[in-house]
Copies of this chain bind each other. A is one copy, B any other.
Amino acid sequence: MSKPPYFDRYANLAFEREDGVLVMRFHTDGGPVVFTGQTHEDLPPALEEMSLDRDNRALVITGTGDVFMDKIDGPSLGEIFKPAAWEKTRSEGAKVLQRLLELPMPVVGVANGPAIVHSEYLLLADVHIASVRATYGDFPHPEFGITGGDGVQVVWDEIAGTARAKWLLWTGESIDAQTALQWGVVNEVVPHDAALRRGVEVARTLAGKPALYRTLQKQTLNANLRRRIIQDVPYGMALEGLTAADLPYQDAT
């Protein structure tokens, strides 16, 4: 089985596959990822390609080094205060989450460290393993002065409960792996060095199920989350875009 072309197509996505378990690792030049507009643009086609490649039987999503994701390159996102530019981000954002949820295979999220940017990528996973060093929160939205409507609000609401989600996302606080376990956000907390290995191990087990079982069990277990993502993300990102568009006028408010 030769290496599919998409393995090398995307700057911030590294792929490895063994026994049908695809590992997708976020990175920047081989180190912890700095999330950019390019990363955002690349995710929808990458997910589409992963989805159509029937050699992928299960997926592991993780970060590089000791970080899942904790840096974002604001300027790379473009002039998000212009609604026509924002629409690109909004459209991509909605596609990313929907395609993640509609992958025809189980996904294991491995939080190999802080996940304070796009934690929803992990929370949408079917099984979620955390290193003891993982932490969770949402820093970019408050930092940029824009609301967090890209899906982060949906996953925390559905998974941690409404009151905990509102506290986390209003205050900008973050929580550690143990708290995430107690909140039901994480399924297992493991020693730092064991996180990826454990994630692959779980994925391997799931990859052993029949193809149609994997595809339809995925749909069965994510039906409600999919409904909410599809309904609430386009709305949340419209509100987010309004706060972005307001930035140039903000002294006046």
Residues of A in contact with B (beta carbons under 8 Å apart): 48, 82-84, 86-87, 91, 104, 106, 123, 126-128, 142, 145-149, 153-154, 157-167, 169-171, 183-187, 202, 205-206, 209-213, 215-217, 219-225, 227-228, 230-232, 234-236, 238-243, 245-246, 249-250, 252-253
In the complex, A147→B212 CA distance in Å? 9
CB-based contact A242/B243 at 8 Å: no
Q: Which residues of B contact A169 (CB under 8 A)?
A: 217, 221
In the complex, A56→B106 CA distance in Å? 36
A165-B91 contact, Cβ under 8 Å, with A82-B252, A84-B253: no
Q: Which residues of B contact A252 (CB under 8 A)?
A: 82, 84
A87 to chain B, nearest CB (A): 6
Main secondary structure, interface of A, reads helix
CB-based contact A216/B239 at 8 Å: yes
Taking CB as reference atom, which chain B residue is nearest A235? B235
In the complex, A171→B208 CA distance in Å? 11
A9 to chain B, nearest CB (A): 15
CB-based contact B187/A164 at 8 Å: yes
CB-based contact A91/B104 at 8 Å: yes
Q: Which residues of B contact A245 (CB under 8 A)?
A: 83, 242, 245-246
Q: What 8 pairs across the A-B complex have the smallest Cβ distances?
A: A245-B245, A238-B238, A83-B246, A83-B242, A167-B187, A161-B184, A84-B253, A216-B239
In the complex, A222→B185 CA distance in Å? 20
Please pick, from B87, B209, B221, the residue contacting A165 in the complex, using a CB distance under 8 A: B221
Please pick, from B147, B185, B225, the residue contacting A213 in the complex, using a CB distance under 8 A: B147
Q: Which residues of B contact A162 (CB under 8 A)?
A: 158-159, 224-225
CB-based contact A106/B220 at 8 Å: no
CB-based contact B106/A170 at 8 Å: yes
Q: Which residues of B contact A128 (CB under 8 A)?
A: 163, 167
21 A-B residue pairings within 8 Å (CB atoms): A83-B249, A84-B252, A87-B212, A87-B216, A91-B104, A123-B163, A126-B170, A127-B167, A127-B170, A145-B213, A147-B220, A149-B220, A161-B184, A162-B225, A164-B187, A166-B222, A169-B221, A211-B253, A224-B232, A238-B238, A242-B242
